[in-house]
Amino acid sequence: MVDMDPHQWKRVRELFEACLDEPESQQGAFLDAADAPVGVIEEAKSLLESSRQNLSAFEPPTPALESFPNLDPLDITRGTTIGHYTVEGRIGSGGMADVFVATQDQPSRKVAIKVMRGQLSERAVKRFQFESEVLGQLSHPSIAQVFDAGEAELAGRQVPFIAMEYVEGAEDVIHYARRSQLDLRGRLEVFLGLSDAIRYGHENGVLHRDIKPSNLLISKDGQPKVIDYGIARAENQLDSDRTMTGEIFGTIGYIAPERLRSSQRADTRSEVYSLGVVLFELVTGRPPMDTKGLSFVQAVDHMERQEPPRASSLAADVPEGIDWVCFKALANDRDRRYSSVAELIEDIRRYLSGETVLAGAPSTSYRMRSWLRRHRALASLVLLGLVGTIATIVGTNIGLQRAETKAELARTQTLLAEKATKRAERETARAESEAELAKTQTQLAEEATLLAERETIRAESEAKRAETEATEAKRQASVSATVLNILEETLKKANATHGGVDARVSEVLEAIDARVDKALANEPEIANRMDSLLATAYLGSRDIPSARRILERASERPETGTRFDTELKVADAYIDQLTGRLPEAEEKMRGLVELTANADTKATRTIHLDATRGLIAILLSMGKAKDALAVVQAVNPEIRSGAGQHARTAFLRIGCDVYRMNGQMDKAMESVQQSMELARTPPEDSYELITGLRSAGALELQRGRTKSAGTFLEEAASKSTEFLGVDHPETALTGVVLSEVYVRLAQYDRAIEEYDRIEALPAFGKLTLRNRIMQADTRAYVLANMHKNEEALAAAEKAVGLLNASIAEGDPVRLSCQAMRARLLIQLDRVEEGLSLLEELNQLATRLHGPHSRTAVSMQQELTQGYKTLGNFEKVIKITTQQIADLSDRMEPDQTHLWNARQLRIEALVELGRWDEAQTAIDELRTLVDLEKSPGRKLRIDKLEAITAAKQLPQSTPTPGASAGTNEDED
C-alpha cells in the first residue's frame, strides 16, 4: 500500500476526527457530504469502517497505576492514625512498605501495620482486599493473623495498608535457635512447628510464597509464628513500587531454582525447597548456597549447576538421617523433592522417633547413589527396570489400586480446577478488554480466578496426599516383593566386599543375575523382563558370555507374549553382531524390525525403533552404507515420533553415521544435533550424549573441521570418564577418536601417548574388532609420519594380524591396513614383497569396488611409485596406461589422479627412450589440460618436454630418475 503524503493525510485525519464528534449513525453520511476530494473521503471512510471493528488488540495493557505514584516518604510518626489504628512506632522499612506497631481500640490490641507506599488502581485495591480476606480466614496458632486490609486516608491521599497480628519480642528462627543454644532436637521441633503452619496453608489452598527466616519468627514465649503469609502475592498486586535490586539478593537463596530459572509457578514443592534451605541453615548455621557477592545471574547459575552440599560436610554433628532430609528437600529437580510439606514433616518426625528416614535409608540409598553416580548410564537401565518390575508385581495389590483410584480422582479434580482457572482467566482477559464498561465483571471474573486457583492448590494438595497413600501402599507391598529382596541382598553383598561405595558394575550385575532365575521361577514375565535388562546391561559392558548365558536361560522359559520376549530377541541379534556373525545378525534383526512394524504402543514402538537402529548398526559394520540409508528412510515417521526418548535419541544419532557414510554431511550434522539436543533434555541421557558427541566429532573430522571435532570429542571424553568411568569401552573408544584429532593436528607424540594409555586399559580389549584394527592401523600411520618405519610396520602387522573372517574381503578397513603394511615394506626396502601385496590389493579393490574407486586408485598410485623406485618403468607404463583408460571417462582431465598418471607415464616413456610416445603424450596433455590456469603444471610440462628433447640428443646420457618433479599430492 502506498502511503499518502503528509499533507493529504492531514486532511484525512481532520475529516475522520471531525466525524467522530457526530452521532455514530450519522458518521457515514457526514463523510459522504464532506467538502473534500474523493480520495480523502474514501480514505476517511475506510478508517471509519476499521474503527468500528474490534480494536482491542491495540489496547495497551491496563496500567495498574492510574497516575504516577507519589513516592514521598510517608509522613507517619508516633500518634498518626491509620484507619482504626494509632501508630506507636516504626518496626521496619522495606523497599515498598513501612511496618509500624500500632494499637487498636476495638478490640483493644497491638497490631503490626504494613503501609504501602504508592497508590493503587481501583482494580488493584479490590484484588488486594479479596486476597487479604482469604488470608484472614486462615486460622492456625503459628500463623500471624491478618486482621484487616484496606485503604486509609493519610494527608489527603489514600494509602493501602494491612493490619496483622503483632508478634511480641519476635526473633527470626535462625537467630532464636542460635541465641537459645537449642540442640538438634530443639531446632527440629521449632522447625516442625513452623512447617506445620505452612502445611496448614497448603491444605487450605494458600501458598506462602516468600518463605525465609525473616518471615519465620519465634515469639518471646517460644511460639512459632509465620508472618507475611501470602502477602508476597498481595504485594505484587501493587505492581510497580517494589525494589528490584538489593532485596532479591537477600532472599534469592530461599527461592526454588525452577522459579528463578523459568518462572515456574510456585507450588508446594517450591515451598518444600524454601523450607529445606531454612532447615539446612538451622542445623548447620549457614545456608546451603553462598550467593553473597554474586550478581543475580551468577547466583542463579550457581544454584542451577551446584547440588547443595551435604549438611554434614558443614557441621559434623548433623546426623545422616537429617542429612538425607535436607538433601531431598533441596533437590534441584522438584520432582525429586518431597512432594508436600506434610511429607517433609513426616520424615523429620520419623527421624525424631528413631525410625529410618524415607529420604535415604542409609543401607541402600546411600550406597545406591554413589554406585549410581559412578555408573549412571548402565545403572539407570537396570534400576529403572527394577522399579518398573516392582510396580508390576505390586500392581495387583488391591490396596494400591484403591489408593490409586483415589489419587486419580484427586488428579481429575486438579484438572477440573485447573480448567476452571483457565476458563476464569480467559473470562478475565475478555472482561478486561471491555474494561471501562465492565469493571464489575472483571472483578467477578478475577475473584473466580482466585477461587479457582485456590481450588487447584487445594486439589493438588489432596492429590499429593492420595499419592502419598498410594506410595505407602506400594512400599508395603514391595516389602514382600521378591525383586526388592534381590536388590537388597545384592547391594549388601556389594557393600560387604567393597566397603559399600565402589562395587563394580559387573559384580552387582552378577549378584542380581544369580538370584533372578530361582526367585522368579513362577513369574516368567518378570523374569524375562529382568533378564532382558540384564542381557542389555551385560552387552553394554561387552560381557558377551554372560549375556549369552542369560538369553539361554530365558529361552527355557515359556514365551510370555509380552514385549520382553522381543527385547530378548533383540539382545540375541546384538550378540551376533558383537561376535562378528554379521549376516546372521542382519537376518535376525530384519525379522524383528518386520515383526514390530505395526507397533502401536510406546513400548513396542520403542522396540521397533531400537531393532531398526540395531539393523542399521549391523549394516554399517558390514560396510553397506547405502542399505543402511534405505532403512533409515523407510522408518515410519509415526512410529519414530511415538517411541521412547532414549530410542529416538539413539536413532537420530545413528542416522548421523548413516548420512555421514553416504556423504550427506549436512544432514548428518543436523541429525546428530537433534540427537544431542534430545539427550541434553533433562533427565540427561548421558550415554547417548556421549555417543552423540563422538559421532559429531567423527563427522567434523571427516569434514576436515579439526577444531570443532576437538571440541565435541573433548566434551565426549570428559563426560564419558565422568559417567562411565575411565575403564569403560565407550570411554576407550572416545579416546581413540579424540586421538585422531591429535593426528590431524600433527601432534603425533601426544597421539601415541594417548594410544599407549588407552590400549593399556582392560576396556580396550572389549572394543569391537574393527575398532581395534583401525586403532592399530592409525598407529602405524602416525609412526610412519614420525619416520619410525620399523615400529610402524610392527603396528601395521598387528592390524593385519587381527583381521579375520568377520571383516569382509573388500572391507575398506582390511584394504587400508594391508596397504599400509605394503607401503611400509617398500619403505623398508622390502620392495618386491610390498609390490606383490599391492598388486593383490589392487586387483581385489578393482574387482570389488571398480577401477574408479578411491581404494583402487590409491593402490595404483602406490604401485606406480613402487615400480618407479625399482626402475621397472614397463610396469609403470602398463599401470598408468590402464589407469588413464579407466579414469578418463569418469574424471575431468585436470583432476589430480589423472594428471599424476599421465605425468608418470610420460616420465616412464622418457626413461625408456620411447620419445615419440612421450612427445605424443605431452602434446595430448597440453591440449587436454588448461595449463594457462595452472602455472605450476605448465612449468612441469615444459620441463618434461625439455628433458625429453635433451635426452633425445645422442651425446647426452640419460640421468636415471631425473623427472620433472614429484607428483602432486592427492587432493
Partner 1 sequence: MDPISVTQLLQRIDDGEEAAREQLAGEVYGELHRMACRYLSQERVDHTLQPTALVSELYLGLFRENTPLKLKDRNHLLTTAARAMRRLLIDHARSKNSAKRGGGADRVDLDHIMDFYEERGVEMLELDEALTRLSAMDPNLAQVVELRFFAGRTNAQTAEIMGLSERSIERAWSTARAWLRNQLSADSGESPGGSQFS
- Count CB atoms within 10 A of the CB of residue 877: 22
Out of 171, 239, 525, 968, the residue judged to bind partner 1 by CB under 8 A: 239
Say which residues have a Cβ less than 8 Å from residue 463's Cβ, sequence separation at least 6: 407, 410, 411, 413, 414
Site size toward partner 1 (CB under 8 A) is: 59
Out of 123, 233, 529, 821, the residue judged to bind partner 1 by CB under 8 A: 233
DSSP category for residue 233: H
Cell of 249: 539478593
Nearer to partner 1, 50 or 927 (CB): 50
Q: How far is the CB of 889 from partner 1 (least distance, A)?
A: 45
Q: How far is the CB of 860 from partner 1 (least distance, A)?
A: 46
Query: Residue 276's closest CA among 203, 337, 351?
Result: 337
Q: Write the DSSP assignment of 770-835 as a string of letters.
A: HHHHHHHHHHHHHHHHTT-HHHHHHHHHHHHHH--TTS-TT-HHHHHHHHHHHHHHHHTT-HHHHH
Out of 165, 172, 241, 791, the residue judged to bind partner 1 by CB under 8 A: 241
CB 524 within 8 Å of CB 559: no
Q: How far is the CB of 228 from partner 1 (least distance, A)?
A: 12
Q: How far is the CB of 339 from partner 1 (least distance, A)?
A: 20
Going residue by residue from 658 to 677, which x/- string records binding to partner 1, judged by CB under 8 A? --------------------
Q: Contact region for partner 1 (CB under 8 A) — 260-268, 400-408, 601-609, 716-724?
A: 260-268
User: E strands within 624-666?
Assistant: none
Say which residues have a Cβ less than 8 Å from residue 377's Cβ, sequence separation at least 6: 540, 686, 687, 690, 723, 724
Out of 34, 184, 192, 248, the residue judged to bind partner 1 by CB under 8 A: 248
Q: How far is CA 952 from CA 904, 907, 949, in A?
A: 18, 14, 5
Going residue by residue from 268 to 307, which x/- string records binding to partner 1, judged by CB under 8 A? ----------------------------xx--x-------
Site for partner 1 in 24-53 (CB under 8 A): 46-51, 53
Q: How far is the CB of 367 from partner 1 (least distance, A)?
A: 37
Say which residues have a Cβ less than 8 Å from residue 650's Cβ, sequence separation at least 6: 610, 613, 675, 688, 691
Nearer to partner 1, 52 or 854 (CB): 52
Out of 263, 633, 927, 955, the residue judged to bind partner 1 by CB under 8 A: 263
Q: Which class for 879: exposed (0-12), middle (13-18), buried (19 or more C-beta within 10 A)?
A: buried
Out of 103, 129, 223, 236, the residue judged to bind partner 1 by CB under 8 A: 236
Nearer to partner 1, 49 or 552 (CB): 49
Q: How far is the CB of 300 from partner 1 (least distance, A)?
A: 6
Cell of 185: 532436637
CB 268 within 8 Å of CB 166: no
Q: How far is the CB of 463 from partner 1 (least distance, A)?
A: 19
- Cα gap 88→99, rounded to integer Å: 11
Out of 265, 349, 602, 707, the residue judged to bind partner 1 by CB under 8 A: 265
- Cα gap 161→84, rounded to integer Å: 11
Backbone Cα Rg of the chain: 40
Q: How far is the CB of 63 from partner 1 (least distance, A)?
A: 4
Q: How far is the CB of 444 from partner 1 (least distance, A)?
A: 18
Q: How far is the CB of 942 from partner 1 (least distance, A)?
A: 53
Q: How far is the CB of 115 from partner 1 (least distance, A)?
A: 16
Sign of dihedral through CA atoms 883, 889, 891, 896? positive
Neighbouring-strand partners of residue 153: 158
Site for partner 1 in 756-815 (CB under 8 A): none
CA 716 to chain CA mean position, Å:
14
- Cα gap 338→359, rounded to integer Å: 8
Nearer to partner 1, 439 or 878 (CB): 439
Nearer to partner 1, 118 or 614 (CB): 118
Out of 111, 174, 206, 252, the residue judged to bind partner 1 by CB under 8 A: 252
Edge-first strand order for the sheet with 216-218 is 171-172, 216-218, 224-226
Nearer to partner 1, 240 or 598 (CB): 240
Q: Which class for 57: exposed (0-12), middle (13-18), buried (19 or more C-beta within 10 A)?
A: exposed
Q: How far is the CB of 61 from partner 1 (least distance, A)?
A: 4
End-to-end Cα, the chain, rounded Å: 55
- Cα gap 592→596, rounded to integer Å: 6
Q: Contact region for partner 1 (CB under 8 A) — 13-21, 312-320, 823-831, 892-900?
A: 13-21
Q: How far is the CB of 245 from partner 1 (least distance, A)?
A: 8
Out of 5, 889, 932, 971, the residue judged to bind partner 1 by CB under 8 A: 5
Site for partner 1 in 418-447 (CB under 8 A): 429
Query: Residue 241's closest CA among 101, 374, 94, 33?
Result: 94
Buried b (16+ CB within 10 A) or exposed e, 934-950: eeebeebbeebbebbee
CA 389 to chain CA mean position, Å:
26
1 binds partner 1 (CB under 8 A): yes
Nearer to partner 1, 296 or 915 (CB): 296
Q: How far is the CB of 263 from partner 1 (least distance, A)?
A: 5
Query: Residue 212's closest CA among 275, 294, 268?
Result: 275
Cell of 828: 623398508
Site for partner 1 in 192-211 (CB under 8 A): 209-210
SS3 of residue 152 by DSSP: strand
Site for partner 1 in 59-88 (CB under 8 A): 60-69, 71-73
Q: How far is the CB of 244 from partner 1 (least distance, A)?
A: 6
Contacts of 53-56 spanning 24+ positions with Cβ under 8 A = 56/433, 56/434
Out of 25, 32, 35, 54, the residue judged to bind partner 1 by CB under 8 A: 54
Task: Give the angle subtended at the CA of 805 by the CAs of 802 and 809, to the nearest 5°.
Answer: 100
Q: In the block, which residue shows the cell 548455621?
A: 285
Q: Contact region for partner 1 (CB under 8 A) — 262-270, 519-527, 683-691, 926-934?
A: 262-270
Out of 58, 156, 293, 561, the residue judged to bind partner 1 by CB under 8 A: 58
Identity of the amino acid at 6: P
Nearer to partner 1, 117 or 590 (CB): 117
- Cα gap 181→187, rounded to integer Å: 9
Q: Contact region for partner 1 (CB under 8 A) — 4-12, 664-672, 858-866, 875-883?
A: 4-12
Out of 24, 33, 42, 55, the residue judged to bind partner 1 by CB under 8 A: 55
Q: How far is the CB of 239 from partner 1 (least distance, A)?
A: 6
Nearer to partner 1, 277 or 887 (CB): 277
Task: State yes or no: cis peptide before 683, omega within 30 of 0.
Answer: yes
Q: How far is the CB of 261 from partner 1 (least distance, A)?
A: 8
Nearer to partner 1, 210 or 323 (CB): 210
Nearer to partner 1, 223 or 236 (CB): 236
Nearer to partner 1, 32 or 68 (CB): 68
Q: How far is the CB of 42 from partner 1 (least distance, A)?
A: 12
Residues of this chain that interact with partner 1 (CB under 8 A) are: 1, 3-6, 9-10, 13, 16-17, 20, 46-51, 53-58, 60-69, 71-73, 209-210, 232-233, 236-237, 239-241, 244, 248, 252, 255, 260-263, 265-266, 296-297, 300, 429
